[in-house]
Amino acid sequence: MDFKKLIKIFEKVYGDSHGISTFFSPGRVNLIGEHVDYNGGFVFPCALSLGTFGIARKRSDDILNFYSTNFEDPITCSINNLKYEKEHYWSNYLKGVIYEFQKLGFNLCGMDILISGNLPNGAGLSSSASVELLTSIICKELFSCDIDMIDLVKLSQMAENKFIGVNCGIMDQFAVGMGKKDNAILLNCADLKYEYVPVVLNGYTLIISNTNKRRGLSDSKYNERRDQCNEAVKNLNKELNIENLSQISAEQFEKYKYLIEDPVVLKRATHVIYEIKRTLSAVEKLKNNEIKDFGKLMIDSHNSLRDLYEVSGIELDTLVEEALKSTGVLGSRMTGAGFGGCTVSIVKDECVEEFKKSVEKGYTDKIGYPPSFYTALIGDGAKKINLE
């Protein structure tokens, strides 16, 4: 992204660029460990080089001005009257974060903010978390707020849970805030202990394939899946004493799963228990340079998300099926919440172009429109950018 061009847009929208600061916040892709973060399990995401760019400055009044080059609909509101407004769509993510800063007692004032993203919206690459952490970094830097990145991550998640109304776990915000170049993050979502793991694929590349079917978390069955997991915990607690599904092993689950009488709830819980186990195994495979086995676990993960958690759909399933037909592919799976969005595949370097051609043809023949492809370069987390 060319900040010089963005500054010119800022000047056009706001009159001048006096007193501005520049920022970047990445998107994320989850390599394995899906729909387990809100169950306290292990996930394995990484930040992307794609993301959301921001230019911001303080004002001397209480007015918040928001402008996005992706939507080109300027939003204005008062910092003293922040509320969710459906018609304000994308700006609600910024408002939610600012509202959380105020709840913590930070004294903020008005701002002029311009954002521009090269993440596809609604594609499951955490464009919402990217905007949330971008706003968090803007507030921290412009107002010299004494708050560390982990707390910014928690604050951003709270904004999405309470202000937006999506009962997401913490994985997306954590990956966006704590990302590290060329590393994925093994994160224990129960206690936020984490480990950076170098992603060394030795002749293979991560390719993100976008179904181009837009999805919206707050409009999906995401919250329903979380409720079903809570129901499973409630059933298991007839004999156990757990707060979430991550607190029992696969062996314990097999012993006590008879307590879950609803077959749908049982399927949801089964996915979570074994997805956590897959994630830990996959990380060890990556550390030991057993890339083929890592790929097999990715495939198992997708099959579980399709059959047990039921969050994929014909578009995602078709992308995975076509990927696995292609030469030089070790693994492929949906990534993100599902119901549309993207897949991530491990593809041999010299087969990448043929992969794109064959997957595009197979997908288009079945779905009726083409997918999009992105090479997944792993980057750093949200930060202020110094242009000098």
Beta bridge partners of 45: 30
The pLDDT > 70 percentage for the chain reads: 97
pLDDT at 254 over 60: yes
pTM of the model: 0.94
DSSP state of 247: G
Q: What's the mean pLDDT when you consider all of the chain?
A: 95
Name residue, tokens 């922040």: 82
Q: What is the pLDDT of residues 76-129, one digit of tens each?
A: 999 999 999 988 889 999 999 999 999 999 999 999 999 999 987 777 788 999
Name residue, tokens 């779905």: 367
pLDDT tier at 218 (50, 70, 90 boundaries)? very low
Q: What is the pLDDT of residue 292?
A: 97
Q: What is the pLDDT of residue 113?
A: 98
Instruction: Write out the two tokens for 38.
Output: 């809100």
- Please list, residue by residue across 323-332, b when 16 or more beta carbons sit within 10 angstroms of its beta carbon and e when fewer do: bbebebbbbb
The CA distances from residue 24 to 1, 11, 48, 167, in Å, are: 10, 19, 11, 25
- Cβ-based burial of 98 (10 A; exposed 0-12, middle 13-18, buried ≥19): buried
Measured between alpha carbons, how far is 40 from 189 in angstroms, rounded to an integer?
Answer: 5
Q: How far apart are the first and last CA of the chain?
A: 16
pLDDT tier at 42 (50, 70, 90 boundaries)? very high
311: number of Cβ within 10 Å = 24
CB 271 within 8 A of CB 308: yes
Q: What is the pLDDT of residues 194-215, one digit of tens each?
A: 999 999 999 999 999 999 986 5
Measured between alpha carbons, how far is 312 from 319 in angstroms, rounded to an integer?
Answer: 11
Q: What is the pLDDT of residues 299-358, one digit of tens each?
A: 999 999 999 999 999 999 999 999 999 999 999 999 988 888 999 999 999 999 999 999
Give the residue numbers annotated as catalytic, written as ranges.
172
Residue 59, helix vs strand vs coil: coil
The CA distances from residue 20 to 138, 170, 382, in Å, are: 11, 30, 17
The CA distances from residue 150 to 131, 170, 312, in Å, are: 16, 11, 31
Integer-rounded Cα Rg, in Å, for the chain is 21
pLDDT at 28 over 60: yes
The separation between CA 347 and the C-alpha centre of its own chain, rounded to angstroms, equals 22
